[in-house]
Amino acid sequence: MRSDQRLLEEAYQLVLEEQSVELYHAADRKDLESFVRDGIKLELAGTKFSGAGARQGKGFYLFRSKGNAINQAKWTYGEKESMVVVIAVNSIDPENFDIDYEVVGEEALQFLKDICTSSWKYKGVDPKRLKLTMNSKGDLSLNPAWYNLFLGRRFPASIKRLDSDDAEYLSATFELLKKLYPEVHKQFELKQFEDSGLKALKYNGVEKIWPIRIEDLQGNILWSR
């Protein structure tokens, strides 16, 4: 029987080998020349806005949907007509991708709630070891105390949109999950492929990413390789 890790790798490979798949990232138009000349500078990922997202782990975010890339950039930068969309080809080793917890935050929170309430489903998983608590209203509190930058964070049951600070707590909690219960962590990653179709990916490899096309927000091609 194939292991969960093998299934995970095959899921990445299937998604990234589809001929129609392109990966998107929205950025400021002033960086267009740099993208063309130097490619995407991975070393700059997470260095803007006081390193927002950097504590999730070093990585460059790419989306499978152009609309999601634009929406994420608008959330970060505000409405800017000077934004461009950088399209990257899917020729990067899938083992170098990870999940963006800001984008899949709703699914990640639900998974943690399931761990708190579904003892039959996650037999042997102790929420206390994961620093998880949930009250009767469905509010979830995370306190990954092993990560000394964090004192704890509460996620109301009604929360819909997560910010980069929220994502850091989720990332730290899932790192703890991976450390203590690696098989359950794999279940979460596999669930993302099945349910969300990998809405966003975090590339944490070292190979340079070169754009194959750059468009404006209206879809006009500004540059093509």
User: What are the tens digits of pLDDT across the range 87-96?
Assistant: 887 665 556 7
The answer on 166 and 211 residing in a single domain is no
Q: What percent of the chain has pLDDT over 70?
A: 69
Mean pLDDT throughout 21-25? 80
The answer on 150 and 219 residing in a single domain is no
The answer on 121 and 85 residing in a single domain is no
The answer on 94 and 25 residing in a single domain is yes
> Mean pLDDT for the chain?
77
The answer on 180 and 113 residing in a single domain is yes
Mean pLDDT throughout 1-27? 66
**Secondary structure letter of residue 51 according to DSSP:** G
pLDDT at 47 over 90: no
The answer on 147 and 77 residing in a single domain is no
| pLDDT value of position 138 | 92
pLDDT at 113 over 90: yes
The answer on 152 and 131 residing in a single domain is yes
The answer on 41 and 117 residing in a single domain is no
The answer on 158 and 94 residing in a single domain is no
Domain residues for the domain of 83 are: 4-100+198-224
The answer on 203 and 118 residing in a single domain is no
17-26, 58-67, 127-136: segment of lowest average pLDDT: 17-26
| pLDDT value of position 2 | 56
Question: Strand ranges (DSSP E) for 56-207?
Answer: 60-63, 83-89, 97-98, 132-134, 140-142, 153-155, 200-203
Number of structural domains found in the chain: 2
What CATH number did the domain enclosing 203 receive?
3.20.170.30
The answer on 35 and 18 residing in a single domain is yes
| pLDDT value of position 5 | 64
Mean pLDDT throughout 166-190? 87
